[in-house]
């Protein structure tokens, strides 16, 4: 008879300690990853499958149902790609690159594209695609339309549609009488570009003038010394001339609006002036006229606005191929254009002076309501033009009126007296060399106006070169918002302004500057001309 087994006594821990230990083990093995708590904060981790803890053959805290895999959320897009480690994903999120550089994309040929996606193309596209040798993008996700132009001959933009089976349309960046500029993705180079689509025009030679100018500047611009926007490609798409440019930043008009029309510092205005003069110098050497230089056509190259480039040569021409129509923008047009005289590269120096005055003060210097009023604004600041300028113009009699002895009537009629608004009052307590520079740019006689070569040797420009090491970090972001004094405007009080008070102050400043232009008592029957000097 076998001996009975001896029972060994193993002391057990208290019940509360044992339960707490079990809970701790369960927490360690079944802890939820941090991305399941908040998928918007951290990307999901690659967690290996863990066997559930068992005790006496029974599962502890058995989950009721399997948890679904959460998608990876980044930059507004949802992806189900396998994530990496937490450190890798965090670093990728900071750098803005969520994956390695994609492999070089290969284009499709026409036969392969039609075989795979022909049923998803329109009948017009199935015939149109035969004229292309490389297919980079088809725009299959776009809402296809049958009509591509509106009543005015402008191309109708469709988001995520293709342009020339290569560019993907993202959004409209700007539009005007010439056409529109679209932000696109070049699927051949995987770069963002700006594509300018011109209106359908009967005269193709006029449209190709801009391409000729850009090609001439591209040959000259080997090291980005011309400070002009670079053309990447040009082609005809659905009877529209399309020009692809490098994608730049905001224009100077948008920058001034963001700063509530407060002018820039003297150092930054000088830096922009030097870049503009480099572009005007290149145009002058090639005998090219831009003819539409204004803040909207001057773009920053980066978000810090450290430098600028000149864009939009749609109104440009060569000196021997002048256009005798309405060119340029009224507020930046030279006097010889207003007087219907022959013009040259000197009109760009006039526009250049108007742009600098606007950058310094924050507001346009000459704001006429029409061509007559524009000439009156110029004479009010600079005085009467010489006889050499006026005798060559057949339109001068339409601008000129006799003596006005009654100043009250002249005031209510909106007639401006010569030099009643001097340039020194507009620019304020500026550097004397800057005032002399502006006077030589804004000269009524184009023969006496400063050239780009002379402007580069002016004292005001040379002072900036000597102090270039001090101004190398003088970007727009680091400028104080009140960097320029505006004598014509009342200064705000020392206390903080709310949004409504700040808006009211800006309205008062705007009205104070344009009081002589927008006169409600102007008599419409009288000519808006200038008073003859005594």
191 contact partners, CB below 8 Å, separation of at least 6: 185, 247
d(CA 250, CA 296): 9
161, 221, 292, 348: which one is catalytic?
292
Spell out the residues 6+ positions from residue 500 whose beta carbon is closer than 8 angstroms to its own. none
Q: State both tokens at 257.
A: 């609006």
Is the CB of residue 395 less than 8 Å from the CB of residue 340?
yes
| Phi, then psi, of 183 in degrees rounded to 5 | -85, 125
- The closest alpha carbon to 430, from 335, 360, 328, belongs to 360
Q: Among this protein's residues, is 186 annotated catalytic?
A: no
SS3 219: helix
Using CA atoms, how far apart are residues 482 and 81, in angstroms rounded to an integer? 49
The strand pairing partners of 79, in sequence order, are: 72
Tokens of 170: 């993202």
Secondary structure (DSSP) of 90-114: HHHHHHT--SPPPPPP-PBPHHHHH
| CB neighbours of residue 472 within 10 Å | 11
**CB burial of residue 393 (10 Å; 0-12, 13-18, 19+):** middle
Strands 298-300 and 240-246: unpaired
Helix (H) or strand (E) holding 370: none
How many Å is the Cα radius of gyration of the chain? 34
Residue 328 near residue 246 (C-beta atoms within 8 A):
no
DSSP 272-340: HHHHHHHHHHHHHHTTEE----SGGGEEESSTT---EEE---TT-EEGGG---S--S-GGG--HHHHTT
Q: Annotated catalytic sites, by residue?
A: 292
């Amino acid at each position: 008879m076998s001996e009975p087994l001896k029972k060994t006594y193993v002391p057990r821990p208290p019940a509360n300690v044992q339960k707490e230990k079990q809970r701790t083990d369960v927490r360690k093995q079944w802890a939820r990853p941090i991305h399941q708590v908040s998928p918007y904060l951290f990307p999901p981790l690659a967690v290996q499958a863990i066997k559930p803890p068992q005790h006496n053959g029974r599962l502890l805290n058995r989950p009721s149902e399997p948890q679904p895999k959460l998608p990876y959320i980044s930059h507004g897009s949802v992806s189900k790609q396998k994530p990496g480690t937490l450190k890798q994903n965090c670093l990728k999120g900071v750098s803005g690159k969520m994956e390695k550089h994609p492999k070089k994309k290969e284009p499709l040929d026409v036969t392969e594209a039609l075989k795979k996606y022909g049923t998803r193309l329109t009948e017009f596209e199935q015939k149109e695609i035969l004229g292309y040798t490389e297919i980079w993008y088809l725009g299959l996700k776009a809402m296809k339309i049958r009509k591509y132009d509106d009543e005015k001959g402008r191309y109708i933009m469709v988001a995520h549609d293709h342009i020339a089976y290569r560019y993907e349309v993202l959004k409209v960046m700007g539009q005007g009488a010439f056409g529109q500029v679209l932000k696109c993705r070049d699927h051949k180079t995987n770069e963002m570009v700006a594509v300018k689509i011109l209106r359908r025009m009967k005269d193709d030679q006029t449209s190709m003038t801009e391409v000729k100018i850009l090609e001439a500047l591209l040959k000259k611009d080997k090291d980005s010394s011309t400070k002009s926007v670079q053309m990447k490609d040009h082609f005809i798409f659905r009877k529209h001339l399309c020009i692809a440019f490098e994608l730049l930043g905001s224009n100077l008009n948008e920058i001034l609006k963001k700063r509530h029309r407060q002018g820039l510092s003297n150092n930054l205005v000088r830096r922009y002036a030097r870049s503009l003069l480099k572009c005007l110098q290149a145009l002058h050497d090639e005998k090219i006229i831009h003819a539409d230089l204004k803040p909207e056509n001057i773009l920053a190259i980066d978000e810090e606005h450290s430098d600028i480039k000149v864009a939009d040569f749609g109104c440009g021409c060569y000196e021997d191929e002048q256009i005798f129509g309405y060119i340029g923008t009224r507020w930046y047009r030279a006097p010889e254009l207003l007087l219907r005289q022959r013009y040259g590269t000197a009109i760009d120096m006039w526009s250049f002076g108007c742009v600098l005055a606007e950058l310094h003060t924050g507001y346009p210097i000459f704001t006429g309501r029409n061509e007559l009023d524009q000439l009156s604004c110029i004479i009010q600041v600079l005085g009467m033009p010489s006889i050499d300028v006026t005798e060559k113009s057949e339109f001068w009699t339409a601008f000129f009126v006799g003596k006005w002895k009654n100043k009250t009537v002249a005031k209510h009629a909106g007639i401006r007296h010569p030099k009643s608004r001097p340039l020194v009052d507009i620019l304020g307590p500026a550097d004397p060399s800057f005032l002399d520079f502006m006077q030589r740019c804004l000269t009524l006689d184009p023969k006496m106006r400063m050239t780009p070569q002379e402007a580069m040797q002016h004292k005001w420009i040379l002072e900036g070169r000597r102090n270039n090491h001090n101004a190398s970090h003088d970007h727009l972001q680091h400028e104080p918002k009140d960097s320029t004094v505006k004598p014509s405007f009342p200064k705000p009080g020392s206390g903080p302004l709310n949004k409504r008070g700040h808006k009211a102050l800006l309205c008062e400043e705007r009205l104070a500057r344009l009081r002589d232009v927008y006169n409600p008592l102007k008599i419409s029957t009288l000519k808006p001309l200038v008073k003859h000097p005594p």
